[in-house]
């Protein structure tokens, strides 16, 4: 069996090349791209301005995998939804949409980059399940499509305003596919979501952060820090043995110098582990001179993990300690906890029966 190409994962110039190979003009590539990513039709039949022979030749070479929602959960009075999608090979992946009502309604899609994750962070449900495989660009876009279709049933015309790669997996270990999906999201003929509204979150892979710093237009970078000493960070995040803080922080500084962007540091507050005044002091020392914003979040509960989160009040107090030390920090609202859709709670295949 020959594997057919997923049309959704191709850039306009690749679609143009495919059109030429199939005996059509290159301009067909742009038409196809618009059908796929602006109008987001479900199949080739709907692409009515393309010649029938071209569509049938395309069908012989390429596929357009359907959105297959296996399960769906909604929380926060309809403002957070989580979908479990079935991929063509039967693997399952989760994605989340967070909607905001302030002023014009905004929708942020939280997408997965891998099925599972190999990084094994001690506080993360995805990490506990191990790694299955990388997602393709088409599968990354399929998640955004599924989320938009879901929300459009309630709000026709709803659009994605932001994308964050904070679902399952480590996006910088699937660098090429993630960046290709980003180009398709950002393309003005496609989804038209500005690079400034697309965030890559990483556990701290130093060479890839340095590589990402050179991408133009630049993306937003979030780094999962969670600890201000190597000793603690190693315990929480095995990757710290490979890339300790004395390599990670200069890479972040390099990122902001090259891109002019502030780097966001994610810091999940764990009761009795990283939430004391001393921890705040060390964190402030570590990030001195870095163009940084610190997102604080009380750790979300993960079954089987010994770690517990802190109260909202404690998180606010920790934020005030950082602010006193001159850092920009805020407590982030946690979404979807009661449907296990919050940070670190995604784990697809086994999760849905027990939630
Ligand atoms: N692998 C990437 C992106 C996916 S994880 C990364 O680690 O950055 C998305 C975010 O959720 C990361 O900041 C991660 O550290 C955080 N996270 C993981 N488990 C969590 C938990 N139990 N509570 C709060 N945040 C968690
Ligand atoms: Fe992987 Fe990120 Fe979870 Fe760590 S926090 S196990 S890197 S998904």
What is the model's pLDDT at position 355?
41
- Of the listed ligands, the closest to the CA of 224 is 1
Same domain, yes or no: 100 and 144: yes
Same domain, yes or no: 295 and 349: yes
pLDDT truncated to tens, each residue of the chain (355 aa)?
457 899 999 999 999 999 999 999 999 999 999 999 999 999 999 999 999 999 999 999 999 999 999 999 999 988 999 999 999 999 999 999 999 987 668 999 999 999 999 999 999 999 888 999 999 999 999 999 999 999 999 999 999 999 999 999 999 999 999 999 999 999 999 999 999 999 999 999 999 999 999 999 999 999 999 999 999 999 999 999 999 999 999 999 999 999 999 999 999 999 999 999 999 999 999 999 999 999 999 999 888 889 999 999 999 999 999 999 999 999 998 888 888 877 888 886 555 544 4
Same domain, yes or no: 170 and 232: yes
Same domain, yes or no: 52 and 162: no
Nearest-atom number in ligand 1 for the CA of 201 is 8
Same domain, yes or no: 211 and 253: yes
Nearest-atom number in ligand 2 for the CA of 224 is 5
Same domain, yes or no: 299 and 176: yes
Token couple for 200 = 């890559």
Active site residues: 94, 343
Which residue range(s) make up the domain with 26? 5-63
What DSSP designation does 345 have? -
What DSSP designation does 133 have? E
CA 103 to ligand 2 centroid distance, Å: 33
Same domain, yes or no: 167 and 253: yes
* Closest of 116, 113, 74 to residue 97, by C-alpha: 74
CA 176 to ligand 1 centroid distance, Å: 21
CATH number at residue 261: 3.20.20.70
Same domain, yes or no: 92 and 236: yes
Last residue of a domain, one of 21, 39, 63: 63
What is the model's pLDDT at position 349?
53
Do you find a cis peptide bond into 145, omega within 30 degrees of 0? no
CATH number at residue 11: 1.10.150.530
Number of domains in the chain: 2
Three-state SS at 164: strand
Last residue of a domain, one of 63, 94, 111: 63
Give the integer Cα–Cα distance in Å for 228 and 270.
13
Give the integer Cα–Cα distance in Å for 285 and 273.
18
What is the model's pLDDT at position 352?
53
**Alpha helices, DSSP H, located in the chain:** 12-21, 27-37, 52-61, 125-128, 137-152, 175-186, 206-212, 230-236, 239-242, 245-259, 277-286, 312-324, 351-354
Same domain, yes or no: 133 and 14: no
Residue 220 beta carbon below 6 angstroms from any ligand 1 atom: no
Token couple for 349 = 């295949």
Same domain, yes or no: 10 and 103: no
Same domain, yes or no: 203 and 123: yes
* Closest of 316, 317, 299 to residue 308, by C-alpha: 299
Residue 173 beta carbon below 6 angstroms from any ligand 2 atom: no
Same domain, yes or no: 47 and 168: no
pTM metric for this prediction: 0.96
């Amino acid at each position: 069996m020959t594997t057919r190409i997923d049309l959704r994962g191709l850039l306009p110039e690749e679609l143009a090349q495919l059109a030429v190979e199939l005996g059509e003009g290159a301009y067909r590539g742009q038409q196809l791209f618009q059908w796929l990513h602006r109008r987001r039709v479900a199949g080739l039949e709907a692409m009515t301005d393309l010649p029938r022979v071209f569509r049938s030749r395309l069908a012989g070479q390429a596929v357009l995998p359907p959105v297959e929602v296996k399960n769906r959960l909604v929380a926060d009075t309809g403002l957070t939804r989580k979908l479990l999608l079935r991929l063509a090979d039967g693997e399952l992946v989760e994605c989340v949409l967070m909607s905001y009502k302030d002023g014009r309604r905004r929708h942020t899609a939280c997408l997965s980059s891998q099925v599972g994750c190999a990084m094994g962070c001690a506080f993360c449900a995805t990490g506990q399940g191990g790694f299955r495989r990388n997602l393709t660009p088409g599968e990354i876009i399929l998640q955004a499509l599924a989320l938009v279709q879901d929300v459009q049933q309630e709000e026709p015309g709803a659009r994605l305003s932001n994308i964050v790669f904070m679902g399952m997996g480590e996006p910088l270990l699937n660098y090429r596919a993630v960046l290709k999906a980003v180009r398709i999201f950002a393309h003005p003929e496609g989804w038209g979501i500005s690079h400034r509204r697309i965030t890559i979150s990483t556990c701290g892979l130093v060479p890839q952060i340095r590589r990402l710093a050179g991408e133009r237009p630049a993306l937003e970078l979030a780094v999962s820090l969670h600890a201000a000493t190597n000793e603690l960070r190693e315990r929480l995040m095995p990757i710290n043995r490979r890339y300790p803080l004395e390599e990670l922080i200069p890479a972040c500084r390099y990122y902001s110098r090259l891109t002019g962007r502030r780097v966001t540091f994610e810091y999940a507050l764990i009761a009795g582990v990283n939430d004391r005044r001393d921890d705040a002091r060390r964190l402030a020392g570590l990030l001195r001179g870095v163009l940084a914003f610190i997102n604080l979040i009380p750790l979300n509960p993960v079954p089987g993990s010994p770690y517990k989160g802190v109260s909202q009040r404690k998180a606010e107090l920790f934020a005030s300690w950082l602010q006193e030390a001159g850092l920009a920090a805020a407590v982030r609202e946690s979404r979807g906890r009661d449907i296990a859709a919050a940070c670190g709670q995604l784990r697809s295949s086994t999760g849905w029966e027990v939630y």
